Amino acid sequence: MKTINNPFITYGYKGSRYFCDRENESRQLIEALQNERNVTLIAPRRVGKTGLIKHVFDQIERQDKHAKCFYIDIFATKNLEQMVQLMARNILGRLDTTSQSALKRLQTFFGSLRPTVSFDQLTGLPTVSLDIRPNEEAQTLKRIFDYMQQSNHRCYVAIDEFQQILSYNHQGIEATLRSYIQFLPNVYFIFAGSMQHLMEEMFTSANRPFFQSSQIMLLRNVPTEKYLSFTNRFLKAQKRTVSKADFDYLYHKVDGITWYVQAILNRAYQYQETAISADFIDKIIYELVNEQESVYENYYASLTEIQAKLIAAVAKEDIVAAPLAHEFIAKYGLKATSSVRTALNALIDRQFIYRKPEGYMVYDRFFGLWLARL
């Protein structure tokens, strides 16, 4: 991997050199997959689960040249057909080589679905789309799984934002997927999701099809001491360093969530002539928040009056252990407990607020800092 201009990555995976820690989580995930256990990986958005998955897949493919790893993010899909097409594009074209015999096997296996094969101009890899007839989405998905099973590869598939399947208008989707997945001897899955209450209900409730079907992993924040060492390793090239006290200030300002820490460090690395102090960190955060102000104004305008008052109150407190308590409701002039409960549930469902063991926080930490100014 070539050296990059700024080592504090804010999107994508650029190699293990620029990946902070997660040694225990990586080992745990690799051991589970290699010992033929599916994994349910749960973490709020921006904590780093996508980076962890891609880091693990990179290690697996380095260790086993015959393994095939597929990362599929279904967050933007609205129905089962879109999910199936996404899987077809990401799996079928990359499971085989571009040889004529491989493409012929693909055409034979999916002939009735009239597969269309095109080639990515950048990678040269084939991309496959299928002609899925109405009401045949589930059967088509099974055929994709069967194709993987009959391949000569050990396959690992990560389906990110897996809770999205609950929004599909397809009766029994969980049971259908479970019935297909459990009979794939050479295919192993990571079911990743950011909505903890939905993911836990799917995989830990005895009356749900995926009950006890996978190993549960909850992804926590990278420890401060690991992150500080990682940070100073790159700052050293600029003849700079950040003290433990100042890094702790940065870390706790955004609740230790990976993407926000990376965003601040990325901007700090850009200003290479400036000493990294608490005041400098505040200036960077102010800059980053202001850049998103129009977005945050739209977020705020989309809320009902009680939702807007509640999320602003949570932002001012930073974390609220008991948002339905009389003291909190009275302090911020909120309405009846029932109205606050309804507003809180709506904000959680829309991923504006999330619940930690310690209490409730604004999901987007920069949005929370913007709200706290109101």
Residues 88 and 115 in one domain: yes
Q: Residues near 363 by Cβ (< 8 Å), separated by ≥ 6?
A: 44, 45, 351, 352, 353, 354
**Residues 173-201, mean pLDDT to the nearest whole number:** 95
The reported pLDDT for the residue numbered 160 is 98
Whether the Cβ atoms of residue 182 and residue 143 lie closer than 8 Å to each other? no
The reported pLDDT for the residue numbered 121 is 67
The reported pLDDT for the residue numbered 50 is 96
**Residues 106-134, mean pLDDT to the nearest whole number:** 77
**Residues 147-169, mean pLDDT to the nearest whole number:** 95
Inside any domain, residue 266:
yes
Mean pLDDT of the chain: 93
Residue 195 main-chain phi, psi, to 5 deg: -95, 95
Whether the Cβ atoms of residue 12 and residue 189 lie closer than 8 Å to each other? no
Query: If 0-12 CB within 10 Å is exposed, 13-18 middle and 19+ buried, where does residue 159 land?
Result: buried
- The Cα-based distances of 131 to 36, 70, 85, 373 in angstroms read 33, 22, 9, 52
Q: 163, 184, 218 — which closes off a domain?
A: 218
The reported pLDDT for the residue numbered 2 is 64
Beta-ladder partners of 42: 193, 218
Residues 97 and 40 in one domain: yes
Residues 79 and 212 in one domain: yes
Residue 343 has pLDDT above 80, yes or no: yes
Residues 128 and 269 in one domain: no
Q: 269, 291, 313 — which closes off a domain?
A: 291
The reported pLDDT for the residue numbered 236 is 96
Q: Is 168 helix (H, G, I), strand (E, B) or coil?
A: coil
Query: If 0-12 CB within 10 Å is exposed, 13-18 middle and 19+ buried, where does residue 29 land?
Result: buried
Residues 99 and 146 in one domain: yes
What's the structural domain count of the chain? 3
Token digits of residue 169: 């208008």
Residue 75 main-chain phi, psi, to 5 deg: -55, -40
Residue 201 has pLDDT above 60, yes or no: yes
Residues 270 and 315 in one domain: no
Q: What is the CATH number of the domain that holds 198?
A: 3.40.50.300
Residue 254 vs residue 94, higher pLDDT: 254
Residue 56 vs residue 88, higher pLDDT: 56
Q: Is 219 helix (H, G, I), strand (E, B) or coil?
A: coil
Residues 214 and 230 in one domain: no
The reported pLDDT for the residue numbered 113 is 82
pLDDT digits (tens, 9 = 90+) for 62-76: 999 999 999 999 999
- The Cα-based distances of 326 to 221, 322, 341 in angstroms read 32, 9, 12
Inside any domain, residue 297:
no
Residues 158 and 201 in one domain: yes
Per-residue HEC secondary structure of 298-332 comes to HHHHCCCHHHHHHHHHHHHHCCECCCCCHHHHHHC
Inside any domain, residue 3:
no
The reported pLDDT for the residue numbered 111 is 76
**Residues 248-275, mean pLDDT to the nearest whole number:** 97
Residue 324 has pLDDT above 70, yes or no: yes
Threshold 0.85, pTM exceeds: yes
Closest CA to 216 of 177, 162, 155, 256: 162
Neighbours of 171 (CB within 10 A): 7
The reported pLDDT for the residue numbered 142 is 94
Closest CA to 192 of 337, 319, 33, 299: 33
pLDDT band at 125 (very low <50, low <70, confident <90, very high): low
Length, in residues, of the chain: 374
**Residues 25-35, mean pLDDT to the nearest whole number:** 98
Distance, in Å, from the CA atom of 236 to the CA atom of 255, rounded to the nearest integer, reads 25
User: Domain containing 249: what range?
Assistant: 224-291
Residues 128 and 209 in one domain: yes
To the nearest whole percent, how much of the chain has pLDDT over 90? 83
CA 262 to chain centre: 15
